[in-house]
Amino acid sequence: MPEELIGVVTHYFAKPEVGVVKLSGELKAGDVVRFHGHTTDFEQAAGSLQVEHDTVESAAAGTEVAIKVEERVRKHDEVYRVTP
């Protein structure tokens, strides 16, 4: 499946299992994303998106968005949108 680089992880919060991603492309709730790094490689649907503690349906390039993640992500992991 084709993938498009849409951002990079800048922070990870273990207790709420949330990754903060600095976007270089648009992201919408429900998009399938792939987190990829040296020890990270998994796909999930982007369910809950938050910008500055407000839930949003989409976020534009240049925004830092918090995403609830299913596995641990690490700073500098790349984030791709997977398109069918």
Residue in the structure block whose two tokens are 């991603």: 21
> pLDDT tens digit string along 10-44?
999 999 999 999 999 999 999 999 999 999 999 99
- Maximum Cα–Cα distance for the chain, whole Å? 32
| CATH classification at residue 16 | 2.40.30.10
> pLDDT tens digit string along 32-78?
999 999 999 999 999 889 999 999 999 999 999 999 999 999 999 99
* Average pLDDT across the chain, whole number: 96
Q: Are 50 and 66 in contact (CB under 8 A)?
A: yes
The structural domain count of the chain equals 1
Could you list the beta-strand ranges (E) of 1-84: 3-13, 18-23, 27-28, 32-36, 41-45, 49-51, 54-56, 58-59, 64-68, 78-82
| pTM listed for this prediction | 0.93
Domain of 18? 3-82
The residues, any chain, with a CB within 8 Å of residue 39's CB and separated by 6 or more, are: 74
C-alpha 17/C-alpha 84 separation (Å) is 27
pLDDT at 1 over 80: no
